[in-house]
Amino acid sequence: MHEIQVHNTLSGKIEPFVPLEAGVVHMYTCGPTVYDFAHIGNFRTFVFQDILRRFLKLRGFKLIHVMNLTDVDDRIIANAAAAGLGIREYTEKYVQAFFADCRTMSVESPEHWIRATENIQSMVELIQKLQKKTYTYDSEGSIYYRITKFKDYGKLSKIDLSGIQAGARVDNDRYEKESARDFALWKAPKPGEHFWETTIGPGRPGWHIECSAMAMKFLGETIDIHTGGIDLAFPHHENEIAQSEAATGKPFVRYWMHAEHLLVEGEKMSKSLGNFFTLRDLFGKGYKPSALRFALASVPYRRQLNFTFDGLQQATSSVERLRNFAARLKNEKFPAGKQAAMAERIAKAASDFDAGLSDDLNTAQALAAMFDFVREANIAMDKGEFRQGEVKTAQEFLATFEKVFAVLEDNDAEKLEALGYGGNEGSPADAEIEKLVAERQAARKRKDFAESDRIREVLSERGIILEDTKDGSVRWKRK
Ligand SMILES: [Zn+2]
d(CA 448, CA 65): 43
DSSP state at residue 336: S
Q: Ligand 1: distance of its center to the CA of 174 in Å?
A: 11
Percentage of the chain lying above the pLDDT 90 cut: 76
The tally of CA atoms less than 13 A away on the side-chain side of residue 6 is 23
Q: Is the pLDDT of residue 112 over 90?
A: yes
- At 179 the pLDDT is 66
Q: Is the pLDDT of residue 177 over 70?
A: no
Whole-prediction pTM value? 0.87
Q: Ligand 1: distance of its center to the CA of 1 in Å?
A: 33
Q: Which of 184, 105, 175 is nearest to 137 (CA)?
A: 184
Q: Ligand 1: distance of its center to the CA of 398 in Å?
A: 35
Q: Is the pLDDT of residue 352 over 90?
A: yes
- At 136 the pLDDT is 97
Q: What beta strand segments (E) does 177-311 contain?
A: 182-187, 196-198, 201-205, 223-229, 253-259, 262-264, 267-268, 305-307
Single-letter amino acid code for the residue at 275: N
d(CA 276, CA 454): 20
Q: CB burial class (10 A; 0-12, 13-18, 19+) of residue 30?
A: buried
Query: Which residues lie below 8 Å from residue 456, measured CB to CB, with a gap of 6+?
Result: 440, 466
Ion ligand 1: protein residues whose beta carbon lies under 5 Å:
30, 211
Q: How many CB atoms lie within 10 A of CB 328?
A: 17
Query: Which residues lie below 8 Å from residue 118, measured CB to CB, with a gap of 6+?
Result: none
The per-residue pLDDT for range 403-424, each reduced to its tens digit, is 999 999 999 999 999 998 865 4
d(CA 400, CA 394): 10
**CB–CB of 397/346 below 8 Å?**
yes
Least confident of 16-20, 52-56, 161-165: 161-165
d(CA 9, CA 327): 41
Three-state SS for 255? Answer: strand
Q: Ligand 1: distance of its center to the CA of 310 in Å?
A: 33
Q: Which of 67, 63, 19, 45 is nearest to 214 (CA)?
A: 67
Q: Ligand 1: distance of its center to the CA of 312 in Å?
A: 29
Q: Is the pLDDT of residue 428 over 70?
A: no
For the residues of 294-305, what is the DSSP string, one character each? HHHHHS-TTS-E
Single-letter amino acid code for the residue at 78: A
- At 441 the pLDDT is 85
- At 478 the pLDDT is 74
Most confident of 64-78, 152-166, 391-405, 425-439: 391-405
Across all residues in the chain, what is the average pLDDT?
A: 93
DSSP state at residue 278: B
- At 425 the pLDDT is 47
Helix (H) or strand (E) holding 316: helix 309-331
Q: Ligand 1: distance of its center to the CA of 238 in Å?
A: 10
For the residues of 418-475, what is the DSSP string, one character each? HHTSS-SSSPPPHHHHHHHHHHHHHHHHTT-HHHHHHHHHHHHHTTEEEEE-TTS-EE
Q: Ligand 1: distance of its center to the CA of 33 in Å?
A: 9
Q: How many CB atoms lie within 10 A of CB 299?
A: 21
d(CA 341, CA 176): 57
Q: Ligand 1: distance of its center to the CA of 212 in Å?
A: 8
